[in-house]
Amino acid sequence: MSPNTFKTLSFFAAILSGLIPAAFLVFGSVQIFGTVRATEIGGGPATPSDPFVIGFSEPVSAGSLDGKISLSPNEPFHIAWNDARTVMSVRPGGKWSSGGSYRITVDGGKTGIAKTIPMASFSFDVPGYPEVLSVTPEDGTTDVLLDIEDPIVVTFDTSVKAHFIDFRLTPSIPVSYENNSDKTEFRILPKTPLSPDTKYTLSVSVKWRGEDDEAFLEIRKVSFSTLAEKPFEWEKDIVLRAAQAKKYAQALKPSGRYIDINLAIQIMTIFENGIALDSYPVSTGKPGMETPKGEYLIRNKTPRAWSAAYGLFMPNWMALVPDGKFGIHELPEWPGGYKEGANHLGVPVSHGCVRLGVGPAKRVYDWTDIGTAVVVH
């Protein structure tokens, strides 16, 4: 083996062992470099404000990509680097277009040891805002009467866990709401009574978590009108009406204990041997779902019944029919703890049951035995 051949083989052995960088190997005018890779990191923006991030297998030379990064569609963007200049963040000038598609192209540039960065393109989609599939009551509905069994229901096409949702009623009124575990359905109920014969508008707005409140975007608006108030011959003030009932109500059963429910005035009176012991405001079935008139017996009792049909608890439950389709109970409450307010007592808004306030419900529950007669008239 000649001395020159030995030197050449030793040189290549040094390259393979890493003692001599491949970047410095020259054959005439051709330079042999290793591959410089540019790769997407993280799968694209999670919100319209997040950057698109590109990683490089080697540090990029400062300024070598100036003018060599393009965005399609053409929108303003900003570039930021990590300290090692191996990660480049492309951030929108404002926000990416919600639901939009983009392509970023890196055309050239150099590494710190003068390696050429080959052209690379990356496409990504920006997540869009959720859409409202349905609102109950529907836009334009009249004669609306909301309560805990018939709240406003808003359903989205996808989970809104990554968002904040703002539900707003106009005229302004505070609301309480609950949602399912997937955050695709919300039940909304005003905390104070809606005015009768009034048009209300519900607006639904959304923003991404982490954004300022100014970022809220309205995505649905519906309007509905409440039921007009019907005059009664009795006192309009429900407390005065209950006092009237205790004073003037006539027992329909002269002996024993029985519960009297007057649908016309929305008052329950408990009688014993023809004497009215107490009268309480109630809320019975709304129009179309009226509490059936007739004579009944208390069939069963339980301190805290669960309604699978409506997804709520009914404290101090007393069934009026064997199948438990309707009965007497305290103001119902959602699993999250929100309780139907007493503002609906005196107004027929239930799905057929007879609701009592918190104190009176316990009083009547404790006073009543299974088999006690109930007259609904």
User: DSSP letter string over 191-251?
Assistant: SSPPPTT-EEEEEEEEEETTS-GGG-EEEEEEEEEEPPP---SS-SSHHHHHHHHHHHPPP
CB-based contact 189:151 (threshold 8 Å): yes
Instruction: Tell me if 33-125 shares its fold with 132-226.
Output: yes
Is residue 88 predicted with pLDDT exceeding 80? yes
Break the chain into its structural domains and give their ranges. Answer: 33-125, 132-226, 238-376
Q: Which residues contact 322 (CB under 8 A, 6 or more apart)?
A: 299
The pLDDT confidence band at residue 12, using thresholds 50, 70 and 90, is: very low
Residues 30-81 have pLDDT tens digits of 344 456 888 999 888 888 889 999 999 999 998 899 999 999 999 999 999 9
The fraction of the chain above a pLDDT of 90, given in percent, is 61
63-71 long-range contacts, CB within 8 A, separation 24+: 64/108, 64/109, 64/110, 64/117, 65/106, 65/108, 65/109, 65/117, 68/106, 68/107, 68/108, 68/109, 69/104, 69/105, 69/106, 69/107, 70/104, 70/105, 70/107, 71/102, 71/103, 71/104, 71/105
Q: In whole angstroms, give the CA distance from residue 82 to residue 111.
A: 15
Is residue 153 predicted with pLDDT exceeding 70? yes
Planar angle of CA 226, 228, 229, nearest 5 degrees: 125
Is residue 132 predicted with pLDDT exceeding 80? yes
Average pLDDT, the chain: 87
The pLDDT confidence band at residue 136, using thresholds 50, 70 and 90, is: very high
Q: In whole angstroms, give the CA distance from residue 352 to residue 285.
A: 4
Domain covering 132-226, topology = Immunoglobulin-like (2.60.40)
Q: Which residue has the higher pLDDT, 234 or 150?
A: 150
Report pLDDT for 86.
92
- Claim: this prediction has a pTM higher than 0.85: no
DSSP, res 71? E
Q: What is the mean pLDDT of residues 80-105?
A: 92
Report pLDDT for 230.
60
Cα–chain-centroid distance for residue 183? 5
The fraction of the chain above a pLDDT of 70, given in percent, is 89
Q: CATH for 238-376? A: 2.40.440.10
Is residue 107 predicted with pLDDT exceeding 80? yes
CATH class of 33-125: mainly beta
Planar angle of CA 359, 360, 361, nearest 5 degrees: 90
Q: In whole angstroms, give the CA distance from residue 315 to residue 313.
A: 6
Report pLDDT for 2.
47
Polymer length in residues for the chain:
377
